[in-house]
């Protein structure tokens, strides 16, 4: 179904082109870094009949999550799909590049999800577009409306023009997160290694035995392994169990 342009002076393609120029400027500016949340805000304005926009993210060995949202509605919709392990956003993230439903409540593709979606959020129409990101990660940018048959060809065209930019911004955010996690893991490894060396010298035990002592102390004290290791490094021995109050 085709909708007429929403502006008397500029058609959807021209409006999206203007938004893309704004995103490109932001992506190349040190003063205005663009974020996934910024992209979905632009997308909500650029896609003519979108009321809410969010990005669904699926990463290997990590819980699925909502990576960006204009408000609380996409988060609730993702939560429900993650619970049921089914829904149009999940299908678009891992399957076809475009998934559209004009009335999710009666759509036979998602008999469990659709009725709950309508009952809990009032959303009826969804336009879900896959984001091409690298590695084993999957994502989709999703547009929502409480109107039946809200999204037409102009919405698909406008949303599709935003996809490459959204994918680049999300990819940059994920790589930044990965670097941060790697740095944390390396620092934790160094702290634990130092603590193991301290225990080996203090108790004249092997490396494996020292690590086992450290691990059991972490469990007995109900404290993170890194926290115990930091205290060992600082004091030269294992922390004492605090007496109950």
The widest CA-to-CA distance across the chain, in whole angstroms, is 82
> Burial letters for 112-122: b for 16+ Cβ neighbours within 10 Å, e otherwise?
ebbebbbeebe
Q: What mean pLDDT, rounded, does the chain reach?
A: 84
* Number of Cβ atoms within 10 Å of the Cβ of 219: 10
pLDDT at 67 over 50: yes
pLDDT at 3 over 50: no
Average pLDDT over residues 66-72: 95
* Position with higher pLDDT, 175 vs 158: 158
What's residue 12's pLDDT? 58
pLDDT at 159 over 70: yes
* Position with higher pLDDT, 227 vs 111: 111
What's residue 32's pLDDT? 59
* Number of Cβ atoms within 10 Å of the Cβ of 233: 18
What's residue 1's pLDDT? 45
pTM: 0.68
Residue limits of CATH 3.30.450.40 in the chain: 12-178
pLDDT at 141 over 60: yes
Q: Which of 7-16, 81-90, 131-140 has the lowest mean pLDDT?
A: 7-16
**What 3-state class would DSSP assign to 133?**
coil
pLDDT at 245 over 80: no
Residue limits of CATH 1.10.10.10 in the chain: 181-235
Class of domain 181-235: mainly alpha
Class of domain 12-178: alpha beta
Calculate what percentage of the chain has a pLDDT beyond 70. 82
């Amino acid at each position: 179904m085709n909708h007429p342009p929403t502006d008397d002076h500029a058609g959807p393609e021209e409006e999206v082109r203007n938004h893309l120029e704004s995103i490109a400027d932001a992506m190349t500016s040190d003063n205005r870094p663009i974020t996934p949340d910024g992209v979905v805000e632009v997308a909500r304005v650029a896609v003519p009949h979108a009321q809410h926009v969010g990005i669904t993210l699926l990463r290997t060995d990590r819980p699925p999550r909502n990576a960006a949202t204009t408000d609380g509605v996409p988060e609730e919709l993702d939560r429900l799909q993650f619970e049921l392990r089914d829904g149009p956003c999940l299908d678009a993230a891992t399957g076809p590049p475009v998934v559209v439903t004009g009335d999710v409540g009666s759509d036979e593709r998602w008999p469990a999800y659709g009725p709950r979606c309508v009952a809990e959020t009032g959303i009826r129409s969804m336009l879900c577009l896959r984001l091409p990101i690298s590695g084993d990660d999957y994502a989709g940018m999703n547009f929502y409306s409480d109107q039946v048959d809200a999204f037409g060809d102009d919405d698909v065209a406008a949303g599709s023009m935003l996809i490459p930019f959204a994918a680049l911004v999300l990819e940059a955010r994920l790589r930044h997160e990965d670097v941060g996690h790697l740095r944390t893991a390396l620092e934790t490894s160094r702290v634990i290694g130092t603590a193991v060396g301290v225990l080996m010298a203090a108790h004249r035990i092997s490396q494996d035995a020292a690590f086992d002592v450290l691990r059991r102390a972490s469990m007995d004290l109900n404290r993170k392994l890194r926290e115990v290791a930091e205290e060992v490094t600082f004091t030269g021995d294992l922390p004492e169990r605090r007496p109950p109050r």
